[in-house]
């Protein structure tokens, strides 16, 4: 569990869905290894472990929702036997992994329909859901090209650009700040695809820092913006107007090209490094989910009924 926590925190495991899958696997493994003798002791241990895992990245409701769902399944189970509950934890973790796989395949089907036959698509950061959409569209014979932002400061755009290029999709990597420039060029992207880390109760999209600027530039340029995501990114804690907590990461990420000695020169400079930003619902054309392409109102109304705090 410690090692999963570290891998998530350091971004060795990145992308909301991979994070949620790794965290749930780690919680199920914790259940298997537990020395608890009674149901209440096992549940208490797992709830503590779930809180610890969730603290690795605060802007990840998919992880929180899925960890809570596993703990709840054990708590609400009729079974009192510790061995049975351990098996149930493994079963639930596998069920979620299967669900995630199928849901992302559905998202790929729905999303591929939005991808143009020709022309350009812009991608920000690295989203497994977006990768699947683009690969699906390519498999269907669509011959588009993709612009990937670098996605500073951690350069997740390098993962996206390599993944797409290795798949055979013509890919161009650009610096984040050049997005508006490319919207003014001849082969301007007509579609922007991004993932989601969270969807708030107002239907706002919380995603990699820079997403909101890209959405504004896209709106100005007349390009469509879709977020591709499983519905469990909805954060029930944002009900009643509460905002999603935004993770701030270490200053080192901004100075990663400098030696420790060179970094000394920046000691007196305040460095702020928010990992995510918030895009208002009215800047997004729709959200591609496992239930189809939904607008913010449809998405929120479905999630209010289906997600417990």
Place of tokens 């013509």: 170
Q: Select from 4, 30, 56, 128 the one that contacts ligand RUB (CB under 6 A).
A: 128
**Contact region with ligand RUB (CB under 6 A), list: 8-16, 21-29, 67-75, 84-92:** 8-16
Give the Cα separation of 198 and 100 in Å (integer): 16
For residue 172, the minimal CB distance to ligand RUB (Å) is 19
Residues contacting 45, CB < 8 A, separation 6+:
30, 34, 36
Q: Is 21 in the site for ligand RUB (CB under 6 A)?
A: no
Residue 86 or 208: which CB sits closer to ligand RUB?
Answer: 208
Contacts 24+ apart (CB under 8 A), 269-272: 272/248
37: phi then psi, degrees, rounded to nearest 5 = -105, -15
Give the Cα separation of 197 and 24 in Å (integer): 17
DSSP for 102-155, written as a single string: HHHHHHHHHHHTTS-SSSEEEE-S--HHHHHHHHHHHHTT---EEEEE--TTTT
Q: Is 157 in the site for ligand RUB (CB under 6 A)?
A: no
Exposure string over 32-59, b if 16+ CB within 10 A, otherwise e: eebebeebeebbeebbebbebbbebbbb
Q: Is 17 in the site for ligand RUB (CB under 6 A)?
A: yes
**Contact region with ligand RUB (CB under 6 A), list: 86-94, 122-130, 253-261, 281-289:** 122-130
For residue 187, the minimal CB distance to ligand RUB (Å) is 24
Q: Is 129 in the site for ligand RUB (CB under 6 A)?
A: yes
Residues involved in catalysis:
125, 197
Q: Is 197 in the site for ligand RUB (CB under 6 A)?
A: yes
Q: Select from 93, 123, 275, 303 the one that contacts ligand RUB (CB under 6 A).
A: 275
Q: Is 213 in the site for ligand RUB (CB under 6 A)?
A: no
Q: Is 66 in the site for ligand RUB (CB under 6 A)?
A: no
Residues of this chain that interact with ligand RUB (CB under 6 A) are 11, 14-18, 125-129, 156, 194-197, 207-208, 275
């Amino acid at each position: 569990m410690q090692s999963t926590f570290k891998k998530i925190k350091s971004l060795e495991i990145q992308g909301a869905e991979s994070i949620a899958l790794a965290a749930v696997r780690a919680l199920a493994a914790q259940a298997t290894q537990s020395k608890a003798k009674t149901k209440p002791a096992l549940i208490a241990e797992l709830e503590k472990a779930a809180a610890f895992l969730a603290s690795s990245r605060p802007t990840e409701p998919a992880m929180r929702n899925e960890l809570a769902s596993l703990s709840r399944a054990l708590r609400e189970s009729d079974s009192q036997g510790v061995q049975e509950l351990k098996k149930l934890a493994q079963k639930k973790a596998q069920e979620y992994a299967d669900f995630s796989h199928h849901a992302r395949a559905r998202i790929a089907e729905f999303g591929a329909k939005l991808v143009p036959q020709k022309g350009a698509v812009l991608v920000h950061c690295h989203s497994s859901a977006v990768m699947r959409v683009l690969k699906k569209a390519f498999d269907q014979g669509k011959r588009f090209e993709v612009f990937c932002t670098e996605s500073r400061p951690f350069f997740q755009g390098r993962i996206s650009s390599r993944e797409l290029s290795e798949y055979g999709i013509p890919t161009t990597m650009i610096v984040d700040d050049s997005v508006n420039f490319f919207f003014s060029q001849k082969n301007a992207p007509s579609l922007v695809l991004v993932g989601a880390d969270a969807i708030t109760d107002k239907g706002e999209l919380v995603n990699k820092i820079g997403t909101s600027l890209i959405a504004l530039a896209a709106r100005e340029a007349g390009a469509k913006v879709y977020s591709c995501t499983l519905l469990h990114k909805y954060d029930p804690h944002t009900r009643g107007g509460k905002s999603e907590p935004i993770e701030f990461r270490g200053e080192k990420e901004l100075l990663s090209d400098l030696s420790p000695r060179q970094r000394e020169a920046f000691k007196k400079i305040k460095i702020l490094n928010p990992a995510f930003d918030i895009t208002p619902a009215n800047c997004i054309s729709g959200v591609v989910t496992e239930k189809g392409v939904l607008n913010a109102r449809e998405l929120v109304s479905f999630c209010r009924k289906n997600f417990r705090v």
